[in-house]
Amino acid sequence: MKRQAVHMDKQIVKTVRLDYQLYVPAGYEQDESASWPLILYLHGAGGSGPDRDQLRKEGLPQRVESGSGLPFFVAAPHCPLGSFWNTMEDELLAMLDDLSRAWRIDDSRLYLTGFSMGAYGVWNLADRHPQRFAAVAPVSGGGDPAHSKRLSDMPAWIFHGEADEVIRSSESLKMAEAMREAGAEVELTLYPGVGHDCWKNVYANEGLYRWFLEHSRTGGRRNDKEDDMKESKLEWREHSGSAQSEVRSANSVNDVSGSTGAAANPLSANAAPKLPELIFLPDGTERLKIVPIEEADIDEMLELELRNKEFFSRFSPVRDDSFYTREAQEKRIRTMAEAARHDERYQFTVRERESGRLVGVTDLTGIQRGSLQGAWIGYFMDRSCNGKGYMTEAVRYTVRYAFEVLALHRIEAGVMPHNEPSLRVLAKAGFEREGISRKNVKINGRWRDHVLLAILNPKDDEE
């Protein structure tokens, strides 16, 4: 075979769209010569659901809408279902560019903050574009310590609740230590006895906004003389109804550049084993990468089904040979993608984070909205991975996604009574047994009983 050296030079045009809330500071119209700082706020996973108003009920938007005025523009974009902030880089930068053209914004005083999933987005965006931001304030999240190598000049104030059981405070400690070793200006605030929702403390803290204003991208910490010059324009005000406005915008810009059945719980709810809290990442856990299925997964999905054909058949409907073809798997994955776009079903691939190997799938099916807000969970795992705890991690992450991203109220599961490994998985994930359904599913050619279980969104319990 003869080798050839080939060079390609091609222009690619990309269209991006983004919905966001824009809060305009009081006093903007009164002084047409003044430029204003801007805070970019990235919401947590709970803000990604179809209810866009959820974005306004927590974090910085909630603080602004409560009537407490701030001398900043605040931009709060919406991350769609199935996406994470690390995949929205082009959209966020295009939004900032549009805002700078449309409003009198001081580009040297752009600040970045975010909660939970948004905190991971803060570290990622700041790492990729450190020249854009004057300071960052991640809340209840974490990041890759390797980011610190490129953020040695980035002032950071990191916040976390010490009692956070969703994302451990050790994630923020790890980032603070790495930033300090890199020589960055870092402040770390841990709230004793406060859980994941420490944003209530953070964004009520007037000191955070004063700290932001001490920094500019061109000159680091501003001096007293500069502060005095800006004081008359950047007072702390209460917004009146007419002074605070909100804009929702859709921007379009061009930029070149176990088993198949879900398990039941053989134990009582009180007997479910107590597990150490997982360190959740925006795309899975420390050991597993869990993301929505896509067409690039076709070949690996086929390999997974083929090498587990006999094992999976004990828990699956009867499948003919055509199922085990690339064409069938391609159609299957495209159907899943279409169902996700219609908010009907969400399927996720489960990969070993270190090796990248596809080892399983989790599935949220039968999405019900309206007064129900529920779904069924299913999953399967490569037989070679039995005993590693992978399925338990994947199910717990998928349940968290269902509650925080899809904003569902109830997840149901069904499993054959003899499937003890799968029963243990859901016991560990917190599912409770509710009863049994007689001969309700045809498995491997026979009608089978299934134990029924469910788990409820703890946020709804609090309400």
Considering the domain boundaries, does residue 176 fall inside one?
yes
pLDDT score of 29: 84
Q: Which long-range contacts (CB under 8 A, 24 or more apart) does 92-96 make?
A: 92/18, 92/40, 92/125, 93/129, 93/132, 93/255, 94/16, 94/18, 94/251, 94/253, 94/255, 95/18, 95/20, 95/251, 96/38, 96/40, 96/132
The whole-number pLDDT of residue 277 equals: 54
For residue 396, the domain's CATH number is 3.40.630.30
For residues 276 and 330, membership in a common domain is answered with yes
Task: Choose one of 224, 255, 286: the last residue of a domain.
Answer: 255
Q: What's residue 316's pLDDT?
A: 67
pLDDT in tens, 10-60: 777 778 888 899 999 988 888 788 899 999 999 998 888 777 777 888 899
Q: What is the pLDDT of residue 278?
A: 63
Residues 184 and 280 in one domain: no
Looking at the fold, whether 293 and 431 belong to one and the same domain comes out as: yes
Same domain? For 330 and 197 the reply is no
Paired sense of beta strands 288-292 and 346-352, if any: antiparallel
Number of domains comprising the chain: 2
Per residue in 311-355, pLDDT tens? 777 666 667 788 888 898 899 889 888 888 888 889 999 999 989
Query: How many angstroms separate the Cα of 45 from the Cα of each of 51, 79, 281, 310?
Result: 12, 8, 11, 38
Nearest to 166, CA basis, from 440, 432, 405? 405
What is the span of the domain harbouring residue 400? 269-462
Q: What is the largest CA-CA distance in the chain?
A: 81
Mean pLDDT taken over the chain: 80
Contact present, 287 and 393 (Cβ < 8 Å): yes
Alpha helices, DSSP H, located in 35-169: 59-65, 89-102, 117-128
Section 384-406 average pLDDT? 87
Q: Is residue 261 very low, low, confident or very high in pLDDT (cuts 50, 70, 90)?
A: very low
Residues 348, 147, 38, CA angle at the centre, nearest 5°? 90
The residue from 186, 220, 255 where one domain ends is 255
Asked whether residue 149 is assigned to any structural domain, the reply reads yes
C-beta neighbour count of 106 within 10 angstroms: 18
Q: What is the percent of the chain with per-residue pLDDT over 90, rounded to a whole number? A: 32
- Burial-class residue 453 by CB neighbours within 10 Å (0-12, 13-18, 19+): buried
Tell me, yes or no, whether 124 lies in a domain: yes
Look at the pTM and tell me if it is higher than 0.75: no
Asked if residue 286 is part of any domain, the answer here is yes
Give the alpha-carbon dihedral of 416, 421, 422, 426, to 10 degrees. 120
Last residue of a domain, one of 190, 222, 255: 255
Shared-domain flag, residues 163 and 127: yes
**Is 263 a domain residue?**
no
Identify whether the C-beta of residue 95 lies closer than 8 Å to the C-beta of residue 89: no
Q: How would you label 191-215 residue by residue, b for 16+ Cβ within 10 Å and e otherwise?
A: beebebbbbeebbebeebbebbbeb
Say if CB 151 and CB 127 are below 8 A apart: yes
Share of the chain above pLDDT 70, in %: 84
Q: 422 and 342, same structural domain?
A: yes
5 is a domain residue: no
Residues 186 and 290 in one domain: no
Within a domain: residue 147?
yes
Specify the CATH number for the domain of residue 191.
3.40.50.1820
Q: What is the pLDDT of residue 249?
A: 28
What DSSP line would sit under 83-95, residue for residue?
A: --GGG-HHHHHHH
DSSP letter for 22, please.
E
173-194 tens-digit pLDDT? 999 999 988 888 888 888 888 9
**249 plus 377 within the same structural domain:** no
pLDDT of residue 317: 66
Q: Are residues 234 and 290 in the same domain?
A: no
The Cα–Cα gap between 200 and 105 comes to 27
- The answer to whether residue 410 sits within a structural domain is yes
Whether 316 and 170 map to the same domain: the answer is: no
Distance CA 77, CA 249 (A): 9
Categorize the per-residue pLDDT at 257 as very low, low, confident or very high, splitting at 50, 70 and 90. very low
429 plus 283 within the same structural domain: yes
pLDDT bin (cut points 50, 70, 90) of residue 258 is very low
**Across 71-92, average pLDDT:** 89
- 88 in the same domain as 36: yes
